[in-house]
Chain A
Amino acid sequence: MRDTFIGQLKQRAVGDPRIMLITGDLGFGVFDRYREDCPKQFLNAGIAEQNMTMVATGMAMEGRIVFTYSIGNFSTLRCLEQIRNDACYHNTDVKIVSIGGGFSYGALGISHHATEDLAIMRALPNMTVVAPCGLWEAKQATDALIDTPGTFFLRLDKSSGCDEPLQQEEVFRLGRARILKEGTDVAIIVTGGILGEVQKAADILEFSGVSVKIVSVHTIKPFDVGLVLDIAREIKTVVTVEEHTVIGGLGSAVAETLLDNGVQPKAFLRIGLGDRFSSMVGSQAYLRQQYGLDASAIAGKIRKLI
Chain B
Amino acid sequence: MNSMNTIELAKKIRIHALKMTSSGKSSHIAAALSIADILAVLYGNFLNIDPMDPKRFDRDRFILSKGHAGAAVYAVLAETGFFPIEKLTTHYQNGSDLSGHVSHKGIPGVELSTGSLGHGLGVGSGMALAAKLSDKKHCVVVLLSDGECDEGSNWEAILFSAHHKLDNLIAIIDYNKIQALATVAETLGLEPFADKWASFGWLVREVDGHDHLAIHKSLNELAGMEGRPKVLIAHTTKGKGVSFMEDSVLWHYRTAQGEEFDLALAELEASE
Contacts and interface: CB of A to CB of B under 8 A. Distances in A.
Q: Is the interface of A mostly helix, strand, loop or mixed?
A: helix
A90 B157 contact: no
A46 B160 contact: yes
A150 to B, nearest CB: 16
A54 B121 CA distance: 8
> Interface range on chain B: under 10, 10 to 19, 20 to 34, or 35 or more?
20 to 34
Nearest to B123: A58
Interface residues of A, number: 25
B116 interface: yes
B113 A48 contact: no
A59 B116 contact: no
A90 B119 contact: no
A43 B127 CA distance: 14
A51 B125 contact: yes
A143 B160 CA distance: 29
Interface in A173-190: none
A50 interface: yes
Contacts of B122: 50-51, 53-55, 57-58, 82, 86
Contact of A85 (B113, B127, B152, B156): B113
Interface stretch (B26-34, B84-92, B128-136, B186-194): B128-136
Interface in A39-56: 40, 43, 45-46, 48, 50-51, 53-56
Interface of B: 104, 111-116, 118-119, 121-131, 133-134, 152-153, 156-157, 159-160, 163
Given A54-B126, A58-B128, 13 more contacts: A50-B118, A51-B159, A53-B122, A54-B119, A54-B153, A55-B122, A55-B126, A58-B125, A58-B126, A58-B130, A82-B119, A85-B115, A85-B119
A-B residue pairs, 7 tightest by C-beta: A58-B126, A54-B122, A51-B156, A62-B130, A55-B126, A48-B156, A58-B127
14 contacts: A45-B160, A46-B159, A48-B159, A50-B152, A51-B125, A55-B125, A55-B126, A55-B160, A58-B123, A61-B111, A61-B130, A63-B130, A64-B130, A90-B112
